Amino acid sequence: MVPRRLLTAVLLTLTALAGLLAAPAPSLADDPPHPSTDTIAGARAEADRRAAAVGAIEARLTGARNELEQAGRIAEQAVEAYDGAQVKLAKARAAATDAGNRAAAAEAARAAAAEDAAGLAAASYRLGTSPELAALNDLLNAQGPHEATEQAAAVGAAGRSTRQILDAATATAKAATEAVGAARAATDQAQRAATAVDQARKRAQSRLAVQQGQVTELGKRRERLLAELAAARDTTVDLERQRQSAVEAIAAQQAEAAAKAAAQAAAEAAARPSVAPAPPVDGSAPWSQAGAQAALDFARGKLGLPYIWGGEGPDGYDCSGLTMLAWRQGGKQLTHFAADQYAESTPVTYDQLRPGDLVFWTQTGRAADIHHVALYIGDDQIIEAPRTGTAIKQASLWIMGTPDFYARP
């Protein structure tokens, strides 16, 4: 006899099998439908739209970066113009002081000559005749040949003395007038130079204020663009920030390679012989390895200090202030003005660079328009005071493109 429990299990199984057999077979119509042509076209259009959006945003990011660099260059040009105006003011004031001293000396000489002339006039008045005629009268009254010879010499001496007194009075009066005029002109020039410095200071302050405003605005714009880029790519802002930094690094490497190639080509085209050490500038010693090392040591000791426009230390420097003070340690007297520093040094080419040499940039390619200078330390590296809002740093020689000039202090 079959146990009741087993019989129940068999009946349940048979019932389930019957239900399965009675159920309708799955239809092909129940499969997920294939995407339609319109769906595929829409997806492609969306992908193209996102790609275009990504390209546009990346272009705007590049434009923002270029704007920032341009703002920095314009601000630095204004700072260097201020430094140049300061140099001209110092020279104008020195010239005015020198002209004033010459005028004082000329006036003293004029007064002395006038006194002599007044004495001559007084003597003529007392005698009722000129000193020459008085001496001639003595000659005519001379007793004997010896006394006559002495009186004749006196006549000649009196004549020469009178001419010298009158000539001196005339010459010193003219010289004094010219010296006083030159002193006034030099003083006026110094006053104009002081006005120019004040104007240059205001322009620099204005440019720097604009630059700082652009830095802030472009920073905000960059973040907005990165957010747009993240949305277009369906990623995160952090990921896009990292991606953009990598893109910018690659672009910088490519730009540096192009700048170096241009510098090498220019050096080969120049094909000049090795440049001898520069002749000493006023009060300077000839170039030496020890002097260059002293300049490098000074600059390395200032890494991390802030850029301060017009700065000559100790708390901060601008570009030409840093190189001036660095080479002062090396025994060279350079002016606090990048264009003058080039004029005070000996030009070299890229392939002749030594550690301690100076590197210059300009927007026009003209030495008179140099707006930035840095200290070369070797291996295509420089130490520079870049611009307001940044610190003195070590950087690639090619950070601003191919330098326009190289020189050895």
**Would you state the structure tokens that stand for residue 304, as one six-digit string?**
């991390």
* Local confidence band at 7 (pLDDT 50, 70, 90 cut-offs): very low
According to the model, what pLDDT value does residue 53 have? 60
Q: 33 pLDDT band (50/70/90 cuts)?
A: low
Poorest-pLDDT segment among 6-10, 183-187, 208-212: 6-10
Report which listed range, 30-39, 147-156, 180-189, 316-325, is most confident. 316-325
Lowest mean pLDDT among 17-31, 167-181, 237-251: 17-31
Which architecture, in CATH terms, is 263-270+278-408? Alpha-Beta Complex (3.90)
How much is the mean pLDDT over the chain?
74
Residue 135 pLDDT exceeds 60: no
Q: How far apart are CA 71 and CA 225, in angstroms?
A: 20
> How many other CB atoms sit within 10 Å of the CB of residue 384?
24
CATH topology of domain 46-229: Helix Hairpins (1.10.287)
- Checking if the pLDDT of 338 tops 70, the result is yes
pTM over 0.85: no
Q: Which two tokens stand for residue 177?
A: 């007038």
Using the predicted structure, report yes or no on whether residue 63 has a pLDDT greater than 80. Answer: no
pLDDT tens digits, 160-190: 666 666 666 577 767 768 777 887 887 777 6
**pLDDT tens sequence across 105-121:** 876 777 776 666 676 56
Task: Specify the range with the lowest mean pLDDT, choosing from 59-68, 284-293, 310-319, 341-350.
Answer: 59-68
Amino acid making up residue 128: G
Q: In this predicted model, which residue has the larger pLDDT, 236 or 5?
A: 236
Instruction: Say what the pLDDT of residue 180 is.
Output: 77
Among residues 300, 313, 308, the alpha carbon closest in space to that of 387 is found at 308
Q: Which residues of 135-162 are buried (b: 16+ CB within 10 A; e: fewer)?
A: bbebbeeeeeeeeeeebeebbeebeeeb
Give the pLDDT score at 355. 95
Of 183, 175, 154, the C-alpha closest to 112 is 175
Q: pLDDT value at position 391? A: 92
pLDDT category of residue 353 using cuts at 50, 70 and 90: very high
Q: Is pLDDT of 12 > 60?
A: no
Q: Between β-strands 393-396 and 381-384, what pairing exists: parallel, antiparallel or unpaired? A: antiparallel
| Predicted pLDDT of residue 324 | 96
Domain boundaries, the chain: 46-229, 263-270+278-408
pLDDT band for position 136 (cuts 50, 70, 90): very low
pLDDT at 278: 47
pLDDT, residue 317, reads: 95
- How does residue 360 score in pLDDT terms, banded at 50, 70 and 90? very high
Q: Side by side, which strands form the sheet with 370-378? A: 346-348, 405-408, 358-362, 370-378, 381-384, 393-396
What's the Cα-to-Cα distance from 31 to each of 21, 37, 204, 235, rounded to whole Å? Answer: 21, 18, 73, 33
What is the rounded average pLDDT of the residues 87-98?
79
- How does pLDDT run across 257-276, given as a tens digit for each residue? 787 777 777 777 776 555 44
